[in-house]
A and B are shown apart, each in its own frame.
Chain A
Amino acid sequence: MNLTMLLDMVVEGMPDRVLIGDREDGLTGRDLGLRARGGADLIRAAGADTLVYLGGNGPTFPVALFAAAIAGVPFLPVNYRLSDEQLEDVLSRRAKPLVVSDSPERARGRASLTLAEFLAQTAIPAEHELEFDEIDPDSIAVLLMTSGTTAAPKSAVLRHKHLMSYIFGSVEFASAEETDATIVSVPPYHIAAVANLLSNLYASRRIVYLDRFTPADWLHRVRTQGVTQAMVVPTMLVRIVDELVRSGEQGPSTLRSISYGGAKIAAPVLVEALRLFPETGFVNAYGLTETASSIAVLGPDDHRDAVGSDDPDERARLGSVGRALPGVEIEVHDESGNPCPPGVVGSIVVRGPQVAGEYIEAGSRLDPDGWFPTRDLGYIDKDGFIFVQGRADDTIIRGGENIAPSEIEAVLVEHEWVEDVAVAGIPDQEWGQRIGAFVVVKPGVPADAESLREFVRGRLRSSKTPDDIVFLAELPTTPTGKVLRRKLVDTVTQGTETPTA
């Protein structure tokens, strides 16, 4: 169970099918195998213990990932937007990294190659034998730095067995049609990009990369490349929907499936997306870096059923992340670690062979029974649909009352003025924390805090009414759309933005 086995199957089963890039000049299964073999020789010749990938999306990414796997060293894709200090902190944790980067000076004296140099040097003769060494399934395949929204970044460990358990458990080999293609614009240092690469290759679905996302470029690539499947983070979906509304067009009809995940999506956006893509199946995927990607999915039928239903419980499922994948168990536990009954909020925990739950700096976080605490709060309804309410760390404790920001956000986003909103706890002498709502309003509407407060008070009780409403031009997010609540709170506590209320 290792990535070289997956590559071996792809080379064997799909030698001549273009799997990476444009149909005219992309890499076939065998091309990818040869390049990865060549890349592994480079890594070995350099005596490297890690392959660090500091670049964007494109064919070099899969070649580098599989080269590292064949060479038996961890693959560490890093965010190229990190500051020099942050990058140095990451690199200094590895003894002898080989850095593939278009800014070699950022490697600070460590062995490095540009993306183009690396790719050029992976070219080996087409008749080269493609036998891969046996790699221990317990060895580390990929290291991913956690985003550090709440604490210093840690190196999440994904071993070969975790990634392969996910693939074997949820993807059918060579199940894609020859004409299928997927488009990827999530950054390569995110678990979604790693999982997306592996599952599409295994399914034999061609991967089209779009390195710098803009909604217009995305729609253009989808139309010209006949893309049938896409994965986006919610902020991308919001922008695609805006673009279609602006241009008055329907979504491209080639798209059979759009999956989204990684952050919360506002219900009105989703309803609009379903309207603009009437023939497309929507999939909400819930997963974490530490679980080797998706552990639950809300499928296309679940979406259409929810939108078309009059039953409030069924309609609510549009905001659910669906049900657990067959290979994993998901439960909600109370503070003593006992399972909660349906509908009762607690900590979401998960276990199964794809769950790694381990960091280089902090060791394994699995409990003795194998459960990994996701640090997400939520509940499971009577039919097994999982509702995620936000991070445990984001819970606001106001005067001793626990308040989930998501509950207030869900109300505010329904207000006709509100484009986007995040709610966070602001340190407060009297209450411990008070409720701050950070609001982006639509163009041309008034920034009237009292009306918004009244709107919330009318739907939730007064203790859940925001104490502060701060209007911002946009919410600070990570590149994958996770709101940086710490930064929001800083705008109030450090006065970097003047509250307008």
Chain B
Amino acid sequence: MSLKVGTRLRSGNSTCEVIVVKGSDTDAVLMCAGAEMLDARGPAATPNGAEGPTIQLGKRYADDESGVEVLCTKAGVGPLTFGERELTQKTAKALPASD
């Protein structure tokens, strides 16, 4: 499955939702809390009590190897993984406020 910029995905195991900010053409799968992430337009997931780190609202998570980056639009239990590598939370960029 290729990840396209702007695609919205939801976790099948928690309330977590993300939007793809940087995509990838590889076949690796983006997973959240142990299950493949699904099209966010489907029905919302019922959290199944999976345990893991909390994916935080508005934070960016990236996989350096593939370049994949997602932005969390709804907080929920993670972790986020891509090709079995765990995505790490990116530190905020220091761009000056221009407006």
Contacts and interface: CB of A to CB of B under 8 A. Distances in A.
Contacts of A137: 6
Contacts of A192: 99
B95 A325 contact: yes
A154 B66 CA distance: 42
A170 interface: yes
B72 to A, nearest CB: 9
A171 to B, nearest CB: 8
A172 interface: yes
Interface stretch (A44-52, A110-118, A292-300, A333-341): A292-300
Interface stretch (A4-12, A356-364, A445-453): A4-12
B5 A353 contact: yes
B85 interface: no
B57 A12 contact: yes
Contact of B98 (A5, A9, A173, A297): A297
Interface bracket on A: 35 or more
A281 interface: yes
Nearest to A8: B73
Contacts of A170: 95, 98
Contacts of B74: 8, 12
Contacts of A257: 96-97
A335 to B, nearest CB: 31
Interface in B82-99: 92-93, 95-99
Interface stretch (A63-71, A195-203, A392-400, A434-442): A195-203
A13 interface: yes
B28 interface: no
Nearest to B98: A285
A195 to B, nearest CB: 5
A261 B98 contact: yes
A123 interface: no
A259 B74 CA distance: 31
Contacts of B92: 172, 175
Given A1-B6, A9-B58, A161-B6, A285 B99 contact: yes
Contacts of B95: 170-172, 297, 325-326
A172 B58 CA distance: 8
Given A8-B73, A134-B41, A353-B5, A294 B98 contact: yes
A268 B19 CA distance: 45
A269 interface: no
A283 B5 contact: no
A259 B5 contact: no
A21 B12 CA distance: 39
Nearest to A256: B97
B99 A196 contact: yes
Interface in B10-55: 19, 21, 41
Interface in A8-32: 8-9, 12-13
Interface of B: 5-6, 8, 19, 21, 41, 57-59, 71, 73-75, 92-93, 95-99
Interface of A: 1, 5, 8-9, 12-13, 134, 137, 161, 168, 170-175, 182, 192, 195-196, 199-200, 203, 205, 229, 231, 257, 259, 261, 281, 283, 285, 287, 293-294, 297, 299-300, 325-326, 353
Given A12-B74, A173-B58, A281-B96, 15 more contacts: A5-B73, A12-B75, A168-B71, A171-B95, A172-B93, A172-B95, A174-B57, A199-B99, A200-B99, A203-B97, A257-B97, A259-B99, A293-B98, A293-B99, A297-B98
Smallest CB-CB A-B distances: 9 pairs: A173-B58, A285-B98, A172-B92, A196-B99, A294-B98, A299-B96, A283-B96, A1-B6, A195-B99
